[in-house]
């Protein structure tokens, strides 16, 4: 009996690492972070090159497509007598501008057919909301049109000279 007691004592003396508190803490932290985390939507890019910032000397080979955005958020194409109303407001949660979309599709296809880079000039009235401008830029991005000129920037720069 005495011999047996000495063997068990040897076993008890062996140092062991207890993992359970570590796991407890890990779960506690996990639950804490799960509860306190608020999932934020990731922001996205709509990148545009604005040649108005660095106007080129040479004339572009292709006639630019002209878009006007009024204070009320209406979208027009062309200028002067040829001006026509395209869309009054965007539709649905995807904010689609159907008429502008079809026009841009034709314009981009024509430009690509002639190996030209599609150019778009946008005139935005002062009180138009940024969301409407973004809707138009969104449709430009859809058709891979990345060269945009905000015409009023050039005009006002020229006036200030």
Query: Which residues in this chain contact other proteins in the complex, by CB under 8 A?
Result: 3-4, 7, 11, 17, 19, 22, 40-54, 69, 93-95, 124-131, 133-135, 137-139, 141-142, 150, 152-153, 156-157
Nearer to other proteins, 73 or 111 (CB): 73
Give the CA angle between residues 129, 133, 139 to the nearest 5°: 150
Nearer to other proteins, 36 or 41 (CB): 41
- Distance from chain centroid for Cα 42: 10
What is the smallest separation between the CB atom of 131 and other proteins, expressed in angstroms? 4
Closest distance between other proteins and the C-beta of residue 53, in Å? Answer: 4
∠ Cα 78 74 154 (to 5°): 55
Q: Single out the residue of 59, 45, 46 nearest to residue 119, CA to CA.
A: 59
Looking at the Cβ atoms of 52 and 78, the one nearer to other proteins is: 52
Beta bridge partners of 120: 65, 148
C-beta of residue 24 within 8 angstroms of C-beta of residue 32:
no
Which CB atom, from 77 or from 128, has the smaller least distance to other proteins? Answer: 128
């Amino acid at each position: 009996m005495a011999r047996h007691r000495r063997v068990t004592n040897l076993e008890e003396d062996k140092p062991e690492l207890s993992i359970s508190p570590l796991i407890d803490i890990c779960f506690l932290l996990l639950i804490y972070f799960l509860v306190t985390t608020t999932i934020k939507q990731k922001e996205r890019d709509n990148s545009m090159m604005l040649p108005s910032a660095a106007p080129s000397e040479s004339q572009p080979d292709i006639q630019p497509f002209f878009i006007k955005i009024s204070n009320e958020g209406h979208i027009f194409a062309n200028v002067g007598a040829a001006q026509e109303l395209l869309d009054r407001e965007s539709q649905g949660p995807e904010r689609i501008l159907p008429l502008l979309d079809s026009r841009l599709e034709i314009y981009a296809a024509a430009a690509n057919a002639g190996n030209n880079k599609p150019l778009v000039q946008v005139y935005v009235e002062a009180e138009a909301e940024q969301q409407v401008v973004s809707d138009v830029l969104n449709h430009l991005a859809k058709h891979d049109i990345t060269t945009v000129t905000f015409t009023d920037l050039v005009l006002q720069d020229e006036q200030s000279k």
